[in-house]
Amino acid sequence: MIKWLITVLLSISLIPFSLGQSWQAAYYMIDNDSLPYQSIRSDIEPENNKLPLLIFLHGSGERGNDNQLQLTHGGALFFDAILNKKIEGMIVFPQCPKDDYWARVERIVHENDSLSFTFFPDSTPTPAMNLLLGLLDSLSQLPFVDQSRIYIGGLSMGGMGTFESLSRRPKMFAAAFPICGGGNPEIVELFDPKIKPWVFHGAADKIVSPAYSERMVNKMRNKGMQVKYTVYPETGHNAWDNAFAEPDLLRWIFSQTKN
């Protein structure tokens, strides 16, 4: 009953804010757990129009509960796009708690300070992922959201969360754009083959090896999915800078529709 009431109040509270002018801070709650998020949407009348919804998942460095830090990478891109009417839609940036992770993964630091990751395909979602899934379910039911045009993307830890979200809500998304992330290829079997991912990675990434993206791309292509894969030869972990500078990125994302 409490979860249902909070979800209803959340849905109502999203409708009347000052449209297209600034980020709006809010929280999604399940029992005593909360997920901070910022949202912004186009200044149009929802009674007469349906808007696409885009969720962006930040990396591990932006975790916390200040409900601001998650806008560090990508926030300006999407704010400018909404404000200057380059796109129409609703953009949501949730913030993962400091001690949690979007994806169910073990992060291993080696003696030479290199990192490796073990992804667990058959596991319960992390608390942060559980909250994210609840938020996604709630937002997707808002009366002005176009359920055929829901998108998800993220960088680093958020790229990992993007891949995992495709397995946990395979029928929800029209497109995805994981940046310098990765996942366990086994979960690709759960993906909707009609989802269109655009995967990005830096070839010189020493934090998250491009091999983690490559094996996901290979598995998706073997499944017959339409995958775009962009590798930046001289780029390290900050492949998001290159991805956000892609002139076709926003047009490509918002042109995708779920069949």
* CATH number of the CATH domain containing 37: 3.40.50.1820
| Position 17 confidence tier, pLDDT thresholds 50, 70, 90 | very low
d(CA 104, CA 122): 9
Asked whether the predicted pLDDT for residue 258 surpasses 60, the reply is yes
Q: What is the mean pLDDT of residues 23-36?
A: 95
| Residues contacting 258, CB < 8 A, separation 6+ | 147, 148, 149, 150, 173, 174, 194
Give the rounded percent of residues in the chain with a pLDDT score beyond 70: 90
Which amino acid is it at 24? Q
Total domains in the chain come to 1
- Which pLDDT tens digit goes with each residue over 179-233? 999 999 999 999 999 999 999 999 999 999 999 999 999 999 999 999 999 999 9
Give the rounded percent of residues in the chain with a pLDDT score beyond 90: 84
Surface-to-core class of residue 177, CB atoms within 10 Å of its CB (0-12 exposed, 13-18 middle, 19+ buried)? buried
Between 61 and 47, whose confidence is greater?
Answer: 61
Pairing of strands 115-119, 175-179: unpaired
Question: For all residues of the chain together, what is the average pLDDT?
Answer: 91
Question: Positive or negative CA dihedral for 166, 56, 194, 145?
Answer: positive
Domain residues for the domain of 167 are: 2-255
Pairing of strands 175-179, 33-41: unpaired
pLDDT at residue 193 in the model: 97
| Position 46 confidence tier, pLDDT thresholds 50, 70, 90 | low
- As beta bridge partners, residue 177 has 153
d(CA 98, CA 161): 15
pLDDT at residue 141 in the model: 96
d(CA 34, CA 10): 12
| Residues contacting 166, CB < 8 A, separation 6+ | 152, 173, 176, 187, 190, 191, 192, 195, 197
